[in-house]
Amino acid sequence: MRGTEDHPSRCIRSDTSLAITYPTPAQVAGFELREERRDTGIFVRVRILDAGGFTVDSREFQDASAESMFVGYQFTEGIAEIRLEGLFSTFPTIDDHCFGAEADPCPEGAKIKGAYRDGDDIKIKLKDYAPNETYLVQVIDVFGDVISQIAVTVNSEGKAVITLFDFNCDFARHRVRNDDCGQEKAVKKDCTG
């Protein structure tokens, strides 16, 4: 986006109405409404349109004392356009405009694996998940009961490795499950503890 004198900018200003159109519909979009003159407040109508041109949300923001406020939208089917109309002959500045796709926490190719280590411990690996997301990881016994669970946050590469200790081998074959993604796998190797 380019601003005054072609300087890079994330700031948009108009004295009338403004339409922000996304060539590829965005699933999330947000921006800060700022009042420039510091004496009139914020009075604006915001309409969100889908790819078919239908209004999926319309709100008025009216606050005589506000200098700024954040406005954010999430629409899984896609936001194609945002229309802003000043009310009462005022129009705020749009700043920090951000948009994009919502990250899929369970991307295609994400995997959970488990293997017995040191007899009765289970080493669990998560791979190719959404970066920095937290997942509920469970250990399931042969009866289908959850016997252990822990929240695991993967790193910036979508990976995590944890070890859970001292499982009862009388009820082996355990399974590991990422409950958030509905993925389940049998634990490999033999439980010998």
Among 45, 49, 9, smallest CA distance to 29 is for 49
Polymer length of the chain: 193
How many other C-beta atoms are found inside a 10 Å radius of the C-beta of residue 153?
Answer: 11
DSSP state at residue 4: G
Q: Locate 49 and state its tokens.
A: 């349109």
Higher pLDDT, 120 or 16: 120
Count of alpha carbons within 13 Å of 65, Cβ hemisphere only? 0
Q: Which residue has the tokens 């080493």?
A: 123
With a cut of 80, say whether residue 126 has pLDDT above it: yes
Average pLDDT over residues 174-190: 92
CB 33 within 8 A of CB 71: yes
Mean pLDDT, range 65-92, rounded to an integer: 81
Q: Report the chain's mean pLDDT, rounded to a whole number.
A: 83
Domains of the chain, CATH where assigned: 4-100 (2.60.120.260), 111-186 (2.60.40.2150)
pLDDT per residue as tens digits for the range 135-159: 999 999 888 999 999 999 999 889 9
Query: What per-residue confidence (pLDDT) applies to 38?
Result: 58
What is the tens place of the pLDDT at every residue in 4-60? 344 344 567 766 778 888 888 888 888 888 776 656 777 888 999 999 999 999 998
Indicate whether this model's pTM tops 0.75.
Answer: no
Question: Cα 153 from chain centroid?
Answer: 14
Smallest CA-to-CA distance from 12 within 74, 83, 87 is with 83
CB 46 within 8 A of CB 18: no
- For the chain, state the CA radius of gyration: 25
